[in-house]
């Protein structure tokens, strides 16, 4: 799964990396992005690549009572075509979720140990996402998204059996293309990234609390848990 991630890049870096033409969000460095928060996502609107702020945790447009709805932070790639909450979004409302890296927790005898996972050259990542738009009776619009997950690759498997879908750059525009609505073309993109793409290291348990959101969270911690993980610094 993916329950926390980071994004601390400038507007210029994001614009150059993803070809963003319109920005509807102010950027600030984030080192502990959590569900229900509003964060930047990349969408294709009228053939323009836009950066907007959506709430993390998809609420389907057909939900009647928002208070009773459970935000869906992750969507399994294997069941996107089956789940009513995701089927329409897969065809019509896809997004990229830009990130520097993400956190995952490994179960150990001493408890859950948090790890920070990132691209080996510290390049920006693009998670595959889907979004939806919910309106209340007064017409107020709530835009929400979910990060798509897939089975873990070899480097992630010792931590968790799931991981976010990290799209290669050559697949990003296809994923955003509004004219692509055939699942047969889209689903093959939703596979684990190559094992060698990612590196990881153990970090402080401070990341467990959303009240902490600073650069120290991604610094390596030598907690000597005796873990032998691929890509471990």
Encode pLDDT of 84-142 as tens digits: 999 999 999 999 999 999 999 998 888 899 999 999 999 999 999 999 999 987 888 99
Scored b (16 or more CB within 10 A) or e, 199-214 reads bbbbbbeebeeeeebe
Q: Residue 96 in contact with residue 42, Cβ under 8 Å?
A: yes
- Supply the mean pLDDT for the chain: 92
Residue 119 annotated in active site: no
Given the residues 16, 78, 104, 172, select the one marked as catalytic: 104
pLDDT at position 163:
97
**Percent of the chain clearing pLDDT 90 (strictly above):** 83
pLDDT at position 223:
54
The H or E element containing residue 22 is strand 22-23
Residue 2 annotated in active site: yes
CATH superfamily of 5-218: SOS response associated peptidase-like (3.90.1680.10)
Query: Binning pLDDT at 50, 70 and 90, where does residue 226 land?
Result: very low
Report residue 228 as tokens.
Answer: 């032998």
Q: Residue 152 in contact with residue 162, Cβ under 8 Å?
A: yes
Query: Binning pLDDT at 50, 70 and 90, where does residue 33 land?
Result: very high
Given the residues 2, 95, 193, 202, select the one marked as catalytic: 2
Mean pLDDT to the nearest integer, 209-221 = 95
């Amino acid at each position: 799964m993916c329950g926390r991630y980071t994004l601390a890049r400038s507007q210029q870096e994001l614009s150059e990396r993803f070809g963003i033409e319109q920005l509807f969000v102010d950027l600030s460095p984030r080192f502990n992005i959590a569900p229900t928060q509003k964060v930047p996502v990349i969408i294709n609107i009228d053939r323009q690549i836009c950066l907007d702020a959506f709430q993390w945790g998809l609420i389907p447009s057909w939900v009647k009572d928002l208070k009773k709805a459970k935000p869906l932070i992750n969507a399994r790639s294997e069941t996107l075509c089956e789940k009513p909450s995701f089927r329409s979004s897969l065809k019509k409302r896809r997004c990229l979720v830009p990130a520097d890296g993400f956190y995952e927790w490994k179960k150990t005898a001493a408890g859950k140990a948090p790890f920070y996972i990132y691209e080996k050259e510290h390049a920006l990542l693009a998670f595959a996402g889907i979004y939806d738009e919910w309106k209340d009776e007064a017409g107020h619009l709530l835009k929400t998204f979910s990060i798509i997950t897939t089975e873990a690759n070899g480097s992630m498997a010792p931590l968790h059996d799931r991981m976010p879908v990290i799209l290669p750059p050559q697949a990003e525009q296809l994923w955003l293309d509004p004219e692509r609505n055939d699942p047969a073309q889209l689903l093959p993109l939703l596979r684990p990234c190559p094992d060698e793409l990612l590196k990881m290291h153990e970090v402080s348990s401070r990341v467990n609390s959303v009240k902490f959101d600073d650069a120290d969270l991604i610094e390596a911690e030598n907690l000597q848990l005796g873990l032998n993980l691929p890509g471990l610094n």
